[in-house]
Amino acid sequence: MKKFFLTTILISGLFYVRASAQETIIGDMNYSLLEKYIQAARENYPRKKIFEANVDKAKTAIPMANVSYLDILNASYIYRPNDKAALNPLNPYTVNGFQFGVNLNLGAFLQKPYQVKKAKAEYKVAQLENQEYDIILANEVKSRYYIYLQQQNNLKIRTQASQDNKSVADNLKYKFAKGEVTIDVFNQARINAATADSEKLATEVAFFKAKDALEEIIGKKLTDIN
């Protein structure tokens, strides 16, 4: 009974110590690398490009609004060779040269200053939206990076726990064969080993998902940035 109790303590104690060996990811934080990830996201993430394109589009609308003042003017060039008679059916024009005119729509003309002001305001809004999304994007990259580090460390913990539990199970299998431990102790060790292996597999999947999510937003493989 005493041997059973000590062995059980050994199994649970070993698993706890190994699983608790890494309780922080602070030491794994690389702020320089994180800034590179954020910059890569700014350059590659499609939605960021959409906001930048909206800024360019709004900026282009300002000179277009200014030039629209010229809409009231029109010009044409009429050619009458050799000043032929205007009633000549072959050339029924009365004048030669450039012809200028003004066609003023008062309502449209009075709208021009407001159209220019509107274009400038839309440009400002586009800039602010781009700046806002830049902050959102940076925070999202940080969030995915933190989750990636978390899953990376979880994987280390689960891998070590799996190895430790397998080692304990193998040792107890040998002891059980020699009659030094009971079948209950041996079975519990096997259950612990199987559970640790299952948790390791689940953590591997979570790690790869976190890695893919981070690579998705930065637009590059993590190995391409160092």
- Alpha-carbon distance of 158 to 121, in angstroms, equals 55
Q: Is residue 4 a contact partner of residue 189, using CB atoms and an 8 Å limit? A: no
| pLDDT band per the 50, 70, 90 thresholds, residue 103 | low
* 101, part of any domain: no
Cα atoms found within 13 Å of the Cα of residue 193, Cβ hemisphere only: 17
Residue 6: the pLDDT is 46
Residue 8, domain extent: 2-60+121-224
Q: pLDDT tens across 114-159, in order?
A: 788 888 999 999 999 999 999 999 999 999 999 999 999 999 999 9
At residue 4 the predicted structure's pLDDT band, cuts being 50, 70 and 90, is: very low
d(CA 80, CA 86): 8
- The per-residue pLDDT for range 43-58, each reduced to its tens digit, is 999 999 999 999 999 9
Distance CA(23)–CA(13), nearest Å, equals 17
User: Would 145 be classed as within a structural domain?
Assistant: yes
Rounded Cα distance, 65 and 56, in Å: 15
Query: Residues 6 or more apart from 105 whose CB is under 8 A from it?
Result: 72
The number of folded domains in the chain is 1
Number of neighbouring beta carbons within 10 Å of residue 108: 12
Instruction: State pTM to two decimals.
Output: 0.73
Amino acid 92: pLDDT: 55
At 99 the pLDDT is: 54
pLDDT score at 90: 58
Q: Is position 107 within any domain?
A: no
Q: Is the pLDDT of residue 38 over 60?
A: yes
At residue 17 the predicted structure's pLDDT band, cuts being 50, 70 and 90, is very low
Report d(CA 8, CA 188) in Å as an integer. Answer: 9
* Structural domain contains residue 143: yes
pLDDT digits (tens, 9 = 90+) for 206-224: 999 999 999 999 999 999 9
Q: What is the pLDDT of residue 74?
A: 63
Under the banding of pLDDT at 50, 70 and 90, the label for residue 65 is: confident
- CATH number of domain containing 38: 1.20.1600.10
| CA–CA separation, 174 and 170 (whole Å) | 6
State the residue for tokens 């981070």: 214
3-state DSSP assignment of residue 93: coil
Burial class of residue 87 in the structure, from the number of CB atoms within 10 Å of its CB (0-12 exposed, 13-18 middle, 19+ buried): exposed
Could you tell me if residue 72 is inside a domain? Answer: no
Under a CB-based contact definition with an 8 Å cutoff, are residues 219 and 41 in contact? yes
**Average predicted confidence (pLDDT) for the chain:** 82
Q: What is the DSSP letter of 207?
A: H
Predicted pLDDT at 14: 47
